Homo-oligomer: A and B are copies of this chain.
């Protein structure tokens, strides 16, 4: 039985971690922290948990947290994570960090998109936690940098093509849309129900969204050369889900059949990636609350462009689900343990 702490438990990714771990047979959640709500029961913040998880939220005192847990999930804003992760590592704890702090291997890049990095030493030890392309490295990692939601949907969508050199790596356009949980639980006018409901918009257009360097880092590694992408995020009037529609120029002629075959092979044996049969297309509805990533690659035979559509739950495979998958890997547990839940539909 693993003792697990969730640092930053009063946000949506924290809640989703608790929801998943509650049904994980090898985990006991022993410690939850929240700066804003310390002293309250987590079930006062999230009444879904009432009677099932009524732990009292604690202040974030790293040493005390470490005393209570073998594995620590840090579900904090960027910067806040790298202020505490070093302590957890020093005390020998296994850390799964859901922030952006350890995702970019180059501290210069981190500095350019976020702010000066405080902990480059551990950055070197961190493993980017996308199991489908890094499983073997994750196995031995003490610090897993859990991927961002948009990057997960885009990297999984492109990995087979880039790995095989089947597209021009400089032709990639990723057009993505996310549910509002992606904006977190902070009180701001832009996230009010009446501001978001019944509307749809692009934001961070033109290469300014912070997930851009993360996407480029991983795609460059897959391609074997440095590439840049055009990435446009959009905000959807719904709670959960990310759908990415990705465009690329093939480097040689292909067909939808051949593409599906390629993806089927690449993801064969993967428990959480479903390559859809021809004629089907992903919807965020079909992965909501699950750890699945559904993918459809196809060719626009008129213009010759390859189009890949991928869908995840941004709180599932895009955050907390994937974090538990990473925990299972680093702890030597069956990778799907606790993640068997089917999507909730409708």
Contact = CB atoms under 8 A, between A and B. Distances in A.
Q: How large is the interface on A (under 10, 10 to 19, 20 to 34, 35 or more residues)?
A: 35 or more
A46 B205 contact: no
B194 A192 contact: no
Contact of A193 (B180, B200, B205, B296): B180
A344 B198 CA distance: 11
A115 interface: no
B185 A187 contact: no
Interface in A1-41: 12, 15, 18-19, 22-23
A273 B194 CA distance: 25
Contacts of A179: 200
Contacts of A341: 23, 341
Contact of A345 (B48, B285, B343): B48
A232 B201 contact: no
A173 interface: yes
B173 A247 contact: yes
Interface in A25-68: 46-53
Contacts of A303: 207, 228-230
Interface in A165-224: 173, 175, 177, 179-181, 185, 187-189, 191-203, 205-207, 212
A238 B237 contact: yes
Interface string A236-267: 11111101010100000000100000000000
The 5 closest A-B pairs by CB, nearest first: A199-B285, A201-B283, A194-B346, A48-B343, A207-B302
Interface of A: 12, 15, 18-19, 22-23, 46-53, 173, 175, 177, 179-181, 185, 187-189, 191-203, 205-207, 212, 228-230, 232, 234, 236-241, 243, 245, 247, 256, 274, 276, 280-290, 294, 296, 298-303, 305, 307, 309, 311, 340-346
